[in-house]
Structure 1
Amino acid sequence: MIESTAWAATRTDSVRVQATSGGVPTAVHIDSRELRFGGTELARTILEVHARATQSAMARHRTRLERDGMPADVLDRLGLPRESTVADTENELLGTEAAPVSWMKSL
């Protein structure tokens, strides 16, 4: 079985995580500007972005299985979210995520 992967990022794109539909992180990018917030805050951010990447990968996997003919009720029981549900959640998060400290990039 081929697992799907997806990326997710903070609004400022300073933390990006790629994860599989099984929840395995396959890549993490952390901009050095994020280090000023401390280890605890950085870890929280990475885990939140990782969870979003996993949900996106799961939705992609669902879409692939739907295309291959798997019934929607089976996919629902497997807990695979729909892409529209993941997109709605992402849009809600963008509204509640803290704005960046500055829109200007530090040199």
Structure 2
Amino acid sequence: MTDAGAVSSGGAEGEWASVAEANFTGSIRVRTTAQGLPLAVKVEAAELHRDPQQLAGELLRLCQKAANRAGLALRKQLEEAGLDAAGLARTGLPTEADVARQEIVAEQDYDTEPQSWLRTV
């Protein structure tokens, strides 16, 4: 798995990119397609003792965060390639402000605080 937020080209089945995200402690990590579909999920054993709905919510939040960041990265690539503002707007890809706003809302909607600050080393 790559570092959180990394975008790499040449993903599975013609995808233009895959994105990796992790929670604050790194105990839950996902790698998704640019659309947020999970390709890999890694969950440390301690996280498996959480409420299943909380764990599922955290996985979904990370997948959505990865998709938003991948969309932003694609938007930046198109902008660097010379696509004008009107063309960028038609793509529907998120802006930096959109991504920031969605991440703030997601943090408020979900309990993103770790269950414990202690981690096995």
Q: Is there any run of 5+ residues in structure 1 with no aligned partner, and where?
A: none
Count of residues in Structure 1 that have an aligned counterpart in Structure 2: 106
Q: Give TM-score, length-normalised by structure 2.
A: 0.70
Amino acid paired to 1:40: Q
Instruction: State the Cα RMSD in Å.
Output: 2.5
Does 1:105 pair with 2:105?
no
CA spacing shift, 1:83–1:7, aligned 2, 3 Å: farther
Q: Give TM-score, length-normalised by structure 1.
A: 0.77
- Residues 52-75 of structure 1: per-residue CA shift (max 9 Å, x gap): 011011111111111111122222
Q: Which has the higher contact order (CA 8 A, sep 6+)?
A: 1
Residue in structure 2 matched with residue 19 of structure 1 by the alignment? 32
Residue in structure 2 matched with residue 57 of structure 1 by the alignment? 70
Say whether the 8 Å CA contact 1:3–1:61 is kept in structure 2: no
CA spacing shift, 1:2–1:62, aligned 2, 3 Å: farther
Alignment of 1:36-75 (within 5 A): 36-75=49-88
- Residues 43-96 of structure 1: per-residue CA shift (max 9 Å, x gap): 221111100011011111111111111122222222211245424544x36964
Q: Measure, in 2, the Cα distance between the counterparts of 1:88 and 1:62.
A: 17
CA spacing shift, 1:104–1:66, aligned 2, 3 Å: same
Q: Is there any run of 5+ residues in structure 2 with no aligned partner, and where?
A: 1-13
Say whether the 8 Å CA contact 1:62–1:81 is kept in structure 2: yes
What percent identity do the matched residue pairs reach? 32
Alignment of 1:1-12 (within 5 A): 3-12=16-25
